[in-house]
Amino acid sequence: VVQVARLRPEVVGDEVGSAVARLELVEFLLQSDDLAACAQRAVEWLGDNAGVEQAICAAVVTDASRMHGVAGQGVSSARTGEFVVDLADLDHPLTVAAAAAGPSYFSAHDQRLLTPISGSSFHNLPLRSRALNGGTSVGLLLVSGRGRVPGPDVRWCAELLGEKLARLRARQLLSDAEGRFGRERRLLYSIINAVTDPIMLTDTEGKLIIANARAEKLFSAPDDATEGRRRAVALNNMLFSATLSSGSMGEGARLRELPLVDPIDGSDLLFEHLVSVVRDPREGSCVVSILRNVTDLGRAKEQLEENYRKLRLAEAEVRGERHRLELIIDSVADPILVTDPAGDIVLMNTPAETLFTVGPNQSDAVQRRVRANDAHFSSFVSNLLFSGSQERWRGEIGLVDPQVGKAMPVEAIAGKMLSETGELTAVVTILHDRTEAQENARLYDQVKRASGELQAKVQDATAELAEQNELLRRQAIELEQASALKSQFLANMSHEFRTPLNAILGYTSMLVQGVAGSLSAHQKKGMNRVDSNARHLLALINDILDITRIEAGRMPLHLSDFDLKDLLAEVMSELEPIIARSKITVSVQLSNRLPEMRSDRKKVKQILVNLLSNALKFTPRGTISIRADMRARRVEVAVADTGIGISPADQEKVFEDFRQLDSSPARAHGGTGLGLSICRRLASMLGGRITLQSAPGQGSTFTLHLPCRLRRK
Ligand code: ADP
């Protein structure tokens, strides 16, 4: 029909002509994608076929918030080009009309409008597609002409044009979106390629969708790649798929370790594989893998762990050391402090704490003293720190006992502790309380002074003593000489005495025997007196002679073996007349253990005679017993009487020369007072001694102790 109508318009009627015109418009619009051309063709069609006098088409060209005039009919093209509808102005009548469901009418008197169709009323038809663009208008068609209501041709054309403009708009939007998508995709690629970590997007089976350049190096090989690289890539893909398939593909990211091979140099690599599953309702799920190279990190971690383990061992050792050190320094009674190179105290033992720390609730005074101690100590340590190369420092610090405020002078010895590199690590200081030492020094001085004085006195006394000794020595020599002279004199004199005495005794005896004629009783009595006095004198002289002989060392010893029993029998028979006269019982008890003796028989007899005659003399009545026994290789002969006895005060005196306890002229007993003195001397010569036990009125026991067998010296 269209072909016929085109070739032979005269043969077709009005209706057919109208249909043909419509077809031609449709055909044009189908063929053209030019928005302005389509709109122009449509408004012209309206002028030709629908009785429209003025028409203008505005459409959204690029900016969705505006419509521009794109075609006009019965208006100048310049005015058409200037026509703009601002869709953002929601109160504008044309904006309202654009949103309306159907045509709107605008009177010619409507002052709000400024359109190319000026001076006459017009209709506005919104141009839109029912199916596309969500029913939003993509253009406006303003028409004026005959009749108030736009006819069916106008409506048809508006619908057709609306459909066409909507399609063009949709296509334009699509191409805009494609362009934008392309730009975004390129941007995304450049971003993920800029990331140095391999990044991959795979489907859930592990098929690669997107990979960045770094991932491609690991997981794909170019066609000309070496066999080794190809194998490494294949191995990497296998390992990668294996980690993907291990474990379920749950939501959220998971971290795994992924060992791979570097396809370029074949070295081992270790990656951290961060897997996150992205779920898309339309595309399905895919997996994003981000690999982080932790090869160096792994080695560093191992090294770090090893170092950490060593560190902990070292730390434990140091802690042990420190503990031991603390035990040691705490067990030291002297305060010990350790300071760091800055001079701050880092360690101290208990004695140091009492000087340098303040406990809770301490008085102001205590706190002040501790601060003062601290200041003194710090200045001491800084001396060492500023002393350069000197490693030890010794000095005195005047501290104070914080509790009682007593001055406490201390000797401080500090030493530097250096590291292997010679760096100063600490200063150790030991304080030693000097109070006692100072007190001792003071006492020592005193003692020294006193000792000096004493020494001087001793020297003086010694000198004096030496002088006296010398004097005594001289006196002793003089005395010895005098004694020797005396003994000599006595010996001589005794001899000289004895000769005339013997003559007196001889002549007296002859006279008494009547050699010169018989004597009267009176004369005989006188002669007897002479005889007895002469005998006494002779006995005295004999005694003196004995003593002087002993003292002068001229009494000889005559040793012989003899029987003590025989000797005692002799003593008894010698004193028999006296015993008989005295009417005293004398008993002799001899032990049968008595051995044969070796000694000077005559002298032993002399001693025993003397002891027994004394006992007889000083025992007015009672008994006398003589006991001889053997004790510890010594012979003991005791002469015990029941006589007058001797007081303890006199017991030593009886052994002195010429000593008689009763020295009065009217004394009852005779004697020289030399007997016991001679006995003691003789006993001593024989290697023995005489002991005495006595009490006044209870008798006396004189005991002679002698060695059994005397050896000559
Ligand atoms: P005398 O020749 O006087 O006896 P002695 O030396 O033998 O000298 O004795 C000294 C004194 O010791 C005596 O005078 C006497 O006083 C005292 N004496 C000695 N033996 C005894 C004794 N057995 N009992 C009491 N007194 C004694």
DSSP string, 376-415: HHHHHHHHHHTTTT--EEEEEEEEE-TTT--EEEEEEEEE
Q: For ligand 1, atom 19, which residue shows the shortest CA distance?
A: 614
Which of 654, 663, 679, 680 has most ligand 1 atoms within 8 Å of its beta carbon, as the pocket-test mutant? 654
Q: For ligand 1, atom 2, which residue shows the shortest CA distance?
A: 671
Place of tokens 């093209």: 77
Q: How far apart are the C-alpha atoms of 16 and 22, rounded to whole Å?
A: 10
Give the 3-state secondary structure percentages of the chain, helix then strand then coil, rounded to 5: 50, 20, 30
- Residue range 534-564, pLDDT digits in tens: 888 888 888 888 888 887 777 889 999 999 9
Q: How far apart are the C-alpha atoms of 701 and 261, rounded to whole Å?
A: 131
Find, among 271, 134, 151, the residue nearest to 200 by Cα.
271
pLDDT for the residue numbered 37 = 94
Coil vs helix vs strand at 8: coil
Token pair listed for 28: 């044009």
Token pair listed for 214: 């770094």
Inter-CA distances, 350 with 206, 331, 336, Å: 71, 9, 9
Q: How far apart are the C-alpha atoms of 554 and 557, rounded to whole Å?
A: 10
pLDDT for the residue numbered 69 = 93
Strand partners, 433: 410
Atom of ligand 1 nearest to the CA of 677: 6
Q: How far apart are the C-alpha atoms of 511 and 506, rounded to whole Å?
A: 9
Which of 610, 614, 651 has most ligand 1 atoms within 8 Å of its beta carbon, as the pocket-test mutant? 614
Write out residues in the chain with pLDDT < 70, as ranges.
1-15, 111-112, 118, 133-134, 146-149, 247-253, 663-670, 713
Centroid of ligand 1 to alpha carbon of 335 (angstroms): 83
Centroid of ligand 1 to alpha carbon of 685 (angstroms): 21
Q: How far apart are the C-alpha atoms of 74 and 96, rounded to whole Å?
A: 25
Centroid of ligand 1 to alpha carbon of 660 (angstroms): 6
User: Do you know the residue count of the chain?
Assistant: 713
Q: For ligand 1, atom 18, which residue shows the shortest CA distance?
A: 614
Strand partners, 641: 624
613 pocket-lining for ligand 1 (C-beta < 6 Å): no
644 pocket-lining for ligand 1 (C-beta < 6 Å): yes
615 pocket-lining for ligand 1 (C-beta < 6 Å): yes
700 pocket-lining for ligand 1 (C-beta < 6 Å): yes
Which of 618, 652, 694 has most ligand 1 atoms within 8 Å of its beta carbon, as the pocket-test mutant? 618
Q: How far apart are the C-alpha atoms of 485 and 503, rounded to whole Å?
A: 27
Atom of ligand 1 nearest to the CA of 644: 25
Tell me if 483 sits within 8 A of 551, measured CB to CB.
yes
Query: Who's near 479: CB < 8 A, 6+ residues apart?
Result: none
Q: How far apart are the C-alpha atoms of 172 and 177, rounded to whole Å?
A: 9
Centroid of ligand 1 to alpha carbon of 624 (angstroms): 15
Q: How far apart are the C-alpha atoms of 93 and 140, rounded to whole Å?
A: 12
pLDDT for the residue numbered 569 = 94
Centroid of ligand 1 to alpha carbon of 377 (angstroms): 91
Q: How far apart are the C-alpha atoms of 645 and 665, rounded to whole Å?
A: 21
Q: For ligand 1, atom 9, which residue shows the shortest CA distance?
A: 673
660 pocket-lining for ligand 1 (C-beta < 6 Å): yes
Coil vs helix vs strand at 575: coil
Centroid of ligand 1 to alpha carbon of 528 (angstroms): 26
Tell me if 599 sits within 8 A of 710, measured CB to CB.
yes
Q: For ligand 1, atom 13, which residue shows the shortest CA distance?
A: 660
Burial of 124-138, coded b for 16+ CB within 10 Å and e otherwise, reads: bbbbbbeebbeebbb
Coil vs helix vs strand at 36: helix
Centroid of ligand 1 to alpha carbon of 646 (angstroms): 9
Beta strand pairing status for 268-280 and 284-293? antiparallel
Expressed in angstroms, the distance from the first to the final Cα of the chain is 193
Centroid of ligand 1 to alpha carbon of 119 (angstroms): 198
671 pocket-lining for ligand 1 (C-beta < 6 Å): yes
- Between vectors from CA 164 to CA 162 and to CA 169, what angle results, nearest 5°? 90
* Model confidence, pTM: 0.39
Tell me if 38 sits within 8 A of 61, measured CB to CB.
no
pLDDT for the residue numbered 196 = 84
Centroid of ligand 1 to alpha carbon of 686 (angstroms): 22
Strand partners, 276: 253, 288
Q: How far apart are the C-alpha atoms of 561 and 336, rounded to whole Å?
A: 87
646 pocket-lining for ligand 1 (C-beta < 6 Å): yes
DSSP 91: T
Atom of ligand 1 nearest to the CA of 670: 3
Tell me if 271 sits within 8 A of 257, measured CB to CB.
yes
Strand partners, 254: 275
Centroid of ligand 1 to alpha carbon of 608 (angstroms): 14
Tell me if 106 sits within 8 A of 122, measured CB to CB.
yes
- Residue range 384-420, pLDDT digits in tens: 777 777 778 888 899 999 999 898 899 999 888 888 8
Strand partners, 47: none
612 pocket-lining for ligand 1 (C-beta < 6 Å): no
